[in-house]
Amino acid sequence: MNLNKCNQYLRYIELCRERIESFSKYPYSLSAIKDLSRIDFHPKVTYIVGENGTGKSTILEAIAIACGFNPEGGTRNINFSTNNTHSDLYKNIKLIRGVKRPNDGFFLRAESFYNVATNIDDVDVSRAYGGISLHAQSHGESFLSVIKNRFSGNGLYILDEPEAALSPSRQMSMLVIMNELVQKNSQFIIATHSPIIMSYPDSIIYELNNGIKEVVYKDTEHYKITKNFLDRPEKMLEVLLSQE
């Protein structure tokens, strides 16, 4: 048995297919979930990427809830609900853990971050987030403030589309902070559209596209489309804007 695999916090998940009544109903009708049997996690960083609607956030959400995080995000100690919209996928996945347990953890998701920031202010724990209310900062600054000040290492960090609030330069800053936390025995699982964020070299990337498959960085659709556009923006714009 691989020692690194044993020492990581999450080794893999399995879909308990025998529990599922129908694969014609959401979220089990999504091709990435319909064909899912197992996802192996990298000891350091695992990416789940794909187009909108392919199920990456749904899978990430299920992993986070199964790990004990609030569906809307935050630490395991944050317990509130503003809108109960999560699927029951978390009930039908099995977590296979390593021998170590994380000392820290956070589920950061873009779509409900405002609600988490409000809850943090309500319970007056802003000191752990840099000493300034997250609502007193810009959206991007508050995102980065959580990652810089609240993530302490030896932790499991699950991030859903963190690029939503971050400029390209701030995304690069996030990579630097991620690397520091990885050196402190942290494990990341990230759903993203950003070619910058998904570039961390010591990682594994799963692409959701009519199923789920492992891909290398430069073979992802996000990288190829972005590179093609930046290599010849005038030509790409000519084609795009000439379509009726």
| Domains along the sequence of the chain with CATH | 3-218 (3.40.50)
The amino acid at residue 238 is E
0.85 surpassed by pTM: yes
Beta strands 38-40; 104-109: pairing state: unpaired
Residue 181: what pLDDT? 96
Cα–Cα distance measured from residue 129 to residue 144, given in angstroms and rounded to the nearest whole number: 10
Walk across the sheet containing 187-191 and list its strands.
Answer: 104-109, 155-160, 187-191, 45-50, 203-208, 212-215
pLDDT at 114: 46
The residues facing 49 across adjacent strands are 207
pLDDT (tens place) for every residue of the chain, 244 residues total: 444 566 799 999 999 999 999 999 999 999 899 989 999 999 999 999 999 889 999 999 999 999 999 887 777 766 655 556 678 999 999 999 999 899 999 998 865 554 555 555 555 454 555 556 555 555 557 777 778 888 899 999 999 998 988 899 999 999 999 999 999 999 999 999 999 999 999 999 999 988 899 999 999 999 999 999 999 999 999 989 986 5
C-alpha span between 178 and 186 (Å, rounded): 9
